[in-house]
Amino acid sequence: MNNDKTLHSEINKVITLLKAKKSIIAFTGAGISTESGIPDFRGPQGVWKKYRPIELSEVLQDPESRALYWQRKIDMYPQMKNAVPNKGHLALFELYKKNFLQYVITQNIDGLHQRAGMPDDRVIELHGSNTYIACLDCRKRYEWEDILPLFEKQSTSPKCDECGGWLKPATISFGQAILEYETNEAERIASAADAIIVIGSSLQVYPAAGIPVTTKMNGGSVVIINMEPTGQDEIADCLLHGPAGDILQAIAEGVDERAILKKKREF
Ligand code: NAD
Ligand code: ZN
């Protein structure tokens, strides 16, 4: 972690940098939501310290893995349902309202950016969403409240009433194809941005970890805010090792609302 003095001067550097930029985006990972009580995967209290990942092929082919997958999701459901946006999510929304942020690209599946106020069409969810359930075959959407009672009535995992496909929370599991539209949008937006603020991501998993690199290679600046060193610290113009909530709040408070700039770089 940076000491307070270094952090303070780095926050001021970020504020100065953002004031000079027009098209600013954020790229968030699990670390922005730990302060809302949702554990990350690879941090010191991460989920992978407790569980092994389950691949999509196991969910599809092995009834025991499928049951285990659903059991974990059901166990974690109350935590997800009751989680509220924290200072970090709210500060990003503040930056959006002040015209210092155009898009949030997120690896998170918790829907907390939208619950903090970000409009749906300003949030790109690269790994889908845990806030609803979808059929793996026809993508029909189901709500948690309608699916949960089925587990009390039947012991097997639920199937789609439309096409008979397996239902699963609408997240991208290991071994599942990436979301093409979201991935292309993220790539396009990251190329056009003249600054990217990366928050709470270990930047170890590709293609997600390549997003700040895309901005950098297209001439944009990179700000990284993370508790621990990340896989991309060497490309950062500003590097802040500390808690995301406090840091983002200080940044959002450091800028005044500005008019939308006419010559804004187009997304
Ligand atoms: P990660 O677990 O690999 O890394 C999270 C990083 O955030 C760690 O380096 C950790 O040090 C840092 N961190 C934790 N708390 C922080 C805080 N308060 N302030 C600043 N930094 C903090 O997460 P990732 O890079 O997002 O990649 C893992 C995958 O996990 C993603 O694909 C994502 O879909 C999934 N995931 C999502 C959630 C969620 O939706 N909230 C939760 C767990 C995992
Ligand atoms: Zn279906």
- CATH number of the domain that 110 lies in? 3.40.50.1220
266 and 194 in a single domain? The answer is: yes
Residues 119 and 200 in one domain: yes
Q: How close is the Cα of 134 to the center of ligand 2, in Å? A: 8
Q: What is the pLDDT of residues 210-221, one digit of tens each?
A: 999 999 999 999
Closest CA to 34 of 197, 225, 210, 175: 225
Whether the Cβ atoms of residue 189 and residue 122 lie closer than 8 Å to each other: no
Report helix angle 63-82 to 144-153, nearest 10: 130
Query: Does residue 160 sit in the same domain as residue 243?
Result: no
Residues 104, 167, single domain; the answer is: no
Are the beta carbons of 60 and 135 closer than 8 angstroms?
no
Q: What is the largest CA-CA distance in the chain?
A: 59
If one residue of 35, 38, 41, 110 were mutated to test the ligand 1 pocket, choosing by the most ligand atoms within 8 A of its CB, it would be 41
Residues 158 and 236 in one domain: no
| 34 Cβ inside 6 Å of ligand 1 | yes
pLDDT tier at 49 (50, 70, 90 boundaries)?
Answer: low
145, 234: one domain: no
In this structure, the answer to whether residues 67 and 105 fall within a common structural domain is no
From the CB of 28, is ligand 1 less than 6 Å away? no
| Confidence class for position 229, pLDDT limits 50, 70, 90 | very high
pLDDT, averaged across the chain: 92
Whether residues 113 and 192 share a domain: the answer is: yes
Say whether both 4 and 133 belong to one domain. Answer: no
pLDDT tier, 41 (very low <50, low <70, confident <90, very high otherwise): confident
User: What's the structural domain count of the chain?
Assistant: 2
Q: Is the pTM of this model over 0.85?
A: yes
Q: Which has the higher per-residue pLDDT, 156 or 100?
A: 100
Given strand 128-135, what is the order of strands in its sheet? 141-142, 128-135, 167-171
Reported as a single tens digit per residue, the pLDDT across 176-219 is 998 999 999 999 999 999 999 999 999 998 888 999 999 999 99
pLDDT at residue 4 above 90? no
Domain around 49: 39-82+128-171
**Quick count: other Cβ atoms within 10 Å of Cβ 106?**
32
Instruction: Say what the pLDDT of residue 51 is.
Output: 73
Q: Letter for the amino acid at 248?
A: L
CA pair distance 120, 64, nearest whole angstrom: 36
- The two tokens of residue 204 are 């170890």
- On whether both 122 and 246 belong to a single domain, the answer is yes
